[in-house]
Amino acid sequence: MLVVVCFSFKAYSQASVTAQAFAEVISALTATETSQLNFGKFSPEVQGGQVIVTPDGIRSTNGSVILSGGIANSGIFYLTGAPDAAFSIQLPSGPAVLVHQNSNKTMIVSNWVSYPQAGNGTGILTNGQQFIYLGATLNVGSMIDNPVGLYSGAFNLTFAYN
């Protein structure tokens, strides 16, 4: 007599583990203007031209512009945040317009440049702080286009964590 016995086994295997997740909130990124971008005193003469201020504060001209005394300096910004965090600098996307106080005549600021260099992750907040230096080019018309007087305007910079 032949007896056939069949067994069916179902094997169940499982394991459990308790896992952990982490998050860290860092301090907000803050920026303060400590020195305004200033092209200083100059005379455009008959043709005008450009006044250039570099991020390290060196001023030069092109065209018939003649520099005079007075204060000229790069814009300086103090950035604070999380220690050793990377950050980006976004310069103005276009020119800024400086307007004459009395006549509404204008001059254009363009060719923005910064130190550290603009871009994503180009700066590090050493010990949670960093100075950013900004230079640009001021395009100046003739004395008729840009009469004597004070010109002013505003522009936007953006700093962000990376």
Nearest to 51 by CA among 147, 135, 126, 149: 135
**Element of type H or E holding 83:** none
Domains and their CATH numbers in the chain? 30-161 (2.60.40)
> Is the per-residue pLDDT at 3 higher than 70?
no
Nearest to 45 by CA among 151, 144, 152, 150: 144
> Is the per-residue pLDDT at 55 higher than 80?
yes
What CA–CA distance (Å, rounded) separates 96 from 106? 10
> Structure tokens of 41?
């005193």
pLDDT 10s digits, 95-105: 999 999 999 99
pLDDT 10s digits, 120-158: 988 999 999 999 999 999 999 999 999 999 999 999 999
What CA–CA distance (Å, rounded) separates 157 from 103? 28
Could you give the angle at the alpha carbon of 45 between the alpha carbons of 67 and 70, nearest 5°?
25
For tokens 């450009």, name the residue: 50
Say if CB 64 and CB 144 are below 8 A apart.
Answer: no
- What pLDDT is stored for residue 7 in this prediction? 60
Whether omega for the bond prior to residue 116 falls within 30 degrees of 0, making it cis, is: yes
- Reported pTM: 0.85
Nearest to 73 by CA among 31, 36, 19: 36
What CA–CA distance (Å, rounded) separates 82 from 108? 36
pLDDT 10s digits, 12-46: 788 999 999 999 898 899 999 999 999 999 999 99
